[in-house]
């Protein structure tokens, strides 16, 4: 169909959550690539060009594909989902809600890029190929077996359940964390080590276990597992503390429990939008 709608180069990016294959353009649509780049016809045939070579066409196609945002992560989880997977080396990864990782394994090392969210790792030791988790704030190298890495705004949270990890923001600025210890990695600074909250790893089993923690901290966790998120005024809720066990996979039930036991009310606007207010 002449004059069809234009599509972004490389197809429609997958939405947050589970990674999806990139669909082929619909019939009659054009792929819009940056100026100076060639379009490929359906089936991979190139539009004719005087003096063009196969290598040039392949290069242009690669450049066109490279104009997308960062590629979809190799493994991801949707909102409210806790997903476990086995890694190629026999290690085990558990992804929290809305999380995504990329894997890069070779003969020298095992690298996991945490694109978003959080991941718990049960690492199979391999001294010849250390396992490292990377985020924009730094890197975490496994010196043992079980630990969690979480991205939060401009910081990275690291908590160790078993053995040790080495957390670094630069090659020369590192801290070693042992069982029950945690730290924050931020631009130019490492905060920690300090004791990790009790039951910090319970999220991997779908539970949020808290002992005398600020309500706003609990709501921030629940919001990650709830479609539509949550609205609340942190200053208004200051001073309200929470202890208990809450179901992460059923955040609305968790909110109902908080409303029943705390001086707060939940205002619901439609199916997904909710706000937490002080009574």
The larger pLDDT score, comparing residue 127 to residue 16, is at 127
- The pair of structure tokens assigned to 84 is 């476990």
> What pLDDT digit, counting tens, does each position of 193-222 carry?
999 988 989 999 999 999 999 999 999 999
> 149 - beta bridge partners?
119, 158
Using CA atoms, how far residue 69 sits from 12, 65, 80, in Å, is: 11, 10, 24
- The pair of structure tokens assigned to 144 is 């043992």
CATH architecture observed for domain 75-195: Sandwich (2.60)
| Whether the Cβ atoms of residue 230 and residue 259 lie closer than 8 Å to each other | no
Length of the chain: 279
Q: Is pLDDT above 70 for 112?
A: yes
The reported pTM is: 0.70
CATH topology of domain 206-278: Phage tail protein beta-alpha-beta fold (3.55.50)
Report the distance separating Cα 179 and Cα 159, nearest Å: 8
Same fold, 75-195 and 206-278: no
Instruction: Give domain limits for the chain.
Output: 1-72, 75-195, 206-278
Report the distance separating Cα 171 and Cα 138, nearest Å: 9
Nearest 10 degrees: CA dihedral of 169, 174, 177, 181? Answer: -50
> What pLDDT digit, counting tens, does each position of 228-275 carry?
889 999 999 999 999 999 999 999 999 999 999 999 999 988 777 899
> What pLDDT digit, counting tens, does each position of 9-30 carry?
333 333 333 443 334 444 444 4
Helix, strand, coil % in the chain, rounded to nearest 5: 15, 40, 45
User: Which band of pLDDT confidence, cut at 50, 70 and 90, is reported for residue 108?
Assistant: confident
Element (H, E) at 162: strand 155-162
User: Which band of pLDDT confidence, cut at 50, 70 and 90, is reported for residue 36?
Assistant: very low
């Amino acid at each position: 169909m002449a004059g069809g709608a234009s599509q972004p180069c490389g197809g429609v990016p997958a939405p947050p959550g589970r990674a999806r294959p990139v669909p082929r353009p619909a019939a009659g649509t054009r792929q819009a690539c940056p100026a100076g780049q060639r379009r490929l016809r359906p089936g991979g045939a190139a539009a004719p060009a005087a003096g063009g070579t196969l290598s040039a066409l392949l290069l242009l196609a690669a450049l066109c594909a490279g104009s997308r945002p960062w590629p979809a992560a190799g493994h991801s989880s949707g909102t409210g989902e806790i997903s476990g997977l086995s890694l190629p080396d026999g290690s085990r990864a558990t992804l929290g809600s809305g999380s995504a990782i990329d894997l890069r394994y070779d003969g020298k090392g095992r690298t996991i890029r945490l694109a978003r969210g959080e991941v718990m790792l049960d690492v199979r030791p391999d001294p010849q190929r250390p396992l490292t988790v990377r985020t924009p704030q730094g890197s975490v190298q496994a010196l043992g077996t079980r630990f969690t890495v979480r991205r939060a705004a401009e910081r990275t949270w690291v908590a160790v359940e078993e053995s040790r990890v080495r957390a670094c923001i630069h090659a020369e600025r590192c801290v070693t964390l042992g069982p029950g210890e945690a730290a924050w990695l931020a631009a130019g600074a490492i905060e920690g080590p300090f004791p990790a909250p009790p039951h910090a790893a319970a999220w991997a089993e779908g539970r949020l276990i808290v002992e005398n923690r600020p309500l706003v901290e609990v709501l921030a966790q629940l919001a990650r597992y709830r479609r539509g998120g949550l609205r609340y005024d942190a200053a208004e809720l200051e001073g309200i503390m929470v202890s208990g066990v809450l179901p992460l996979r059923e955040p609305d039930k968790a909110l109902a429990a908080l409303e029943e036991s705390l001086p707060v009310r939940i205002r619901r606007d439609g199916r997904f939008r909710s706000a937490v207010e002080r009574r």
